[in-house]
Copies of this chain bind each other. A is one copy, B any other.
Amino acid sequence: MNWEVIVAKERVTVIDIARAAGVSKSTVSLVLQGSSLVNEATRAKVNAAIRELGYVYNRSAANLRQSKSKIIGIVVNDLTNSFFAELAVGVDAVVQSAGFVQFLANTSEKIERQREVIASMREHGVSGLIISPARGTEASDLAPLVESGIPVVLVVRDITGAGVSSLTSDNHAGAVAAVRHLIERGHRRIAFLGGFADTAVFKSRVRGHRDALLEAGLGPQNELVIGSAPSRAGGVTAIEQAMMLKERPTAALCFNDAVAFGVCDGLRARRLEPGADFAVIGFDDVIEAKTAVPALTTVSVDPQGMGEHAAELLLKQIKAGRAEPEAIVSSVRLVVRQSCGAAAERRMKEVSS
């Protein structure tokens, strides 16, 4: 017993601190929580001991006791898309300054993986979840989650009947504004390029496209709606397809900025200069949109701001306990830059040649 060597770095606990500071573990706990009940002098003593011994708080133990954590989960469908990366950054910012930490998971649009990560997050006791659902997610997929009473905020894509709050952008209005702008500039054949046709976001943007066209008496132009993967590569193929048409478009509203960049690429590959020879409008307003050449005209959705907003909404619900679900659709505005700058007549020539 005389040579009992304590070499293994035992975890230092609140009890060790208590012993070192000459108080009880309860007092230490109080200090840890910043309670006003504890005397200034003891608080100092305790804090000193904490620094001294290199104590690190054990949240697992705390969570267990009070059955609530300081974790929020965020699951996105495609982190590779900078729209979602920025969204995550926005969430992270507000969530961190509220003292929470974020679990981030990427589903790559796979429902199965989404199921797994949501389950895993529940096991970790997240106090709330921000979800940008994978393609094809149904209300029933979310049912067990919402029944458990965990606050959930859906972003970007709403799911009807899920019974949770959602934060989407006004896709219809954005598309209408963009197409109207193109019409004002004299365009008559305006394509809608990119995106998966089975998503709600796609549908409402296409609806906006069609409504603006009809409003101007230009007919629905369904043949100019060309889906593709919502990526840069998808944009290239979409514009190629569009240019094979007998009656080519002179302008395009794109499903998102990634597609729009792809469309610009595809245009250049055909020796057409975006902006000068063909008008391109994107959707989202990712950071690169501003600095690209030509600067991208786009419907600004402000992904980072959206992330912040979603996080605030979630935190509000967490604080309030169970809150009535609300569906917020945040307004959107057309940011006119250079990529839609072409005078329509010039393109007319190009097209008729």
Contacts and interface: CB of A to CB of B under 8 A. Distances in A.
Interface of A: 9, 11, 54, 56-61, 63-64, 67, 69, 71, 79-80, 82, 85-86, 88-89, 92, 96, 101-106, 108, 113, 116-117, 119-125, 144, 148-149, 231-233, 236, 261-262, 264-266, 268-269, 287-288, 290-294
B232 A292 contact: yes
21 contacts: A9-B148, A11-B67, A54-B148, A56-B119, A56-B123, A59-B60, A60-B63, A60-B69, A60-B124, A61-B64, A79-B92, A80-B82, A80-B287, A88-B104, A101-B117, A101-B120, A102-B103, A102-B105, A233-B291, A261-B288, A261-B292
- One complex includes copies of this chain to the number of 2
Q: Which 6 A-B pairs have the closest CB atoms?
A: A265-B293, A104-B104, A60-B63, A85-B85, A268-B293, A232-B291
Contact of A92 (B67, B105, B148, B287): B105
B124 A71 contact: yes
Given A56-B148, A58-B64, 9 more contacts: A56-B123, A71-B124, A88-B104, A101-B117, A102-B104, A103-B104, A231-B291, A236-B291, A265-B291
Given A60-B124, A288-B261, A89 B67 contact: no
Contacts of A269: 293
- Decide if the interface of chain A is mainly helix, strand, loop or mixed: helix
Nearest to A85: B85
A232 B290 CA distance: 10
A236 to B, nearest CB: 6
A201 B170 CA distance: 42
Given A120-B101, A148-B56, A292-B265, A85 B79 contact: yes
Contact of A125 (B59, B85, B104, B116): B59
Given A293-B265, A293-B268, A124 B80 contact: no
A129 to B, nearest CB: 13
Contacts of A266: 293
A160 B149 CA distance: 48
